[in-house]
Amino acid sequence: MRATLSRMAGVKPARYLTPGSKTGLAGIYTHESPRSALLFLYSTTLDKVKAAPEQSVYRQSVEAITKHRMAIVEAVKPEGYAEWQDRISKLVKEYPDHFTATAKTRRDGNASWSVEKNGTSFIILKRPNVVDDRYLEWDGELNEGSELEGVRSADERKDQALSATRTSLEEPVPFTVEPEPALTADQIEDIENKIGAGLIEEVIQVAEGEARLADVMIKAKVWESLEEKPVEGQWTYFERKA
């Protein structure tokens, strides 16, 4: 479905897909970092199905197909991936307070936190949407109301301590979290062909649904016996007998 370029003779530069561009499918746009998104979703699903008994068919089947697809994605690494990992590791060690389990929002609106899924640590980044300043009417300062006059009661003064405990959003040493290197168009196509479930953006949507479905299946305890036993012959279908 993607627009393709004609093959040129000789060596040609690597081609990258533009995030947010059209994919050829209505309502689906090119993902910014499909590799890390899939690894996170697959790890989330594997983490959730651990609540099911190890011998259950549901858990075994989900783990088998999820690990198979996860191995396909893990095998394809963008150029400079190892160096990027080293830089991120140094950044986490230098600013550990900004990569905790609780989201840390900075003054510029960027937020980062760390989560662990299936024994693997992931850094979640949240960037604010770019908005044209001409359409902004609010200056960003919180309106806490006018200052009260006169003597205030103890109940009215109990919130004053909160101002002293507020964490400053000022960054003593500003830093940016470098995104994972992008996969080339050929690498993405290789993943799509091996998984065989359409575009990688469609694969991501399926992985999101599988992660949500795991919660429903665990809650329903699908590995247990039926509450109402089927009557004899209920699952016997029409057969052509000799």
Q: What pLDDT is recorded for position 84?
A: 87
Lowest mean pLDDT among 17-26, 88-97, 144-153: 144-153
Confidence of residue 8 (pLDDT cuts 50, 70, 90): very low
Q: Distance between CA atoms of 188 and 84, rounded to whole angstroms? A: 19
Cut 0.75: pTM above it: no
Q: Distance between CA atoms of 108 and 48, rounded to whole angstroms? A: 34
Q: Give the range with max mean pLDDT: 109-123, 165-179, 212-226.
A: 212-226
pLDDT by residue (tens digit) across 51-110? 999 999 999 999 999 999 999 999 999 999 889 888 888 888 887 777 776 656 666 566
* Mean per-residue pLDDT, 39-57: 92
pLDDT by residue (tens digit) across 126-146? 666 666 666 666 666 666 677
Asked whether the predicted pLDDT for residue 24 surpasses 60, the reply is yes
Q: What pLDDT is recorded for position 206?
A: 94
The tokens for 89 are: 């590791």
Q: Provide the edge-to-edge strand list for the sheet that holds 104-105.
A: 104-105, 111-117, 120-126
Q: What pLDDT is recorded for position 220?
A: 92
Q: What are the residues whose beta carbons fall under 8 Å from the beta carbon of 33, sequence distance 6 or more?
A: 179, 180, 182
Q: Distance between CA atoms of 49 and 60, rounded to whole angstroms? A: 9
More confident residue, 221 or 109: 221
Q: What pLDDT is recorded for position 9?
A: 45
Confidence of residue 150 (pLDDT cuts 50, 70, 90): confident
Q: Contact at 8 Å (CB) between 197 and 203?
A: yes
Confidence of residue 6 (pLDDT cuts 50, 70, 90): very low
The HSE-up count of residue 46 (CA atoms within 13 Å, CB side) is: 20
Question: Which residue is it, tokens 């994972």?
Answer: 180
Q: What pLDDT is recorded for position 169?
A: 57
pLDDT by residue (tens digit) across 157-215? 777 777 666 666 565 556 677 888 899 999 999 999 999 988 999 999 999 999 999 99
Q: Contact at 8 Å (CB) between 110 and 128?
A: yes
Helix and strand counts by DSSP (H, E) for the chain: 7, 3
Q: Distance between CA atoms of 51 and 218, rounded to whole angstroms? A: 7
Q: Distance between CA atoms of 125 and 111, rounded to whole angstroms? A: 6
Give which of 107, 90, 103 is closest to 177, Cα–Cα: 90
Give which of 23, 90, 107, 76 is closest to 183, Cα–Cα: 76
The tokens for 196 are: 């065989």
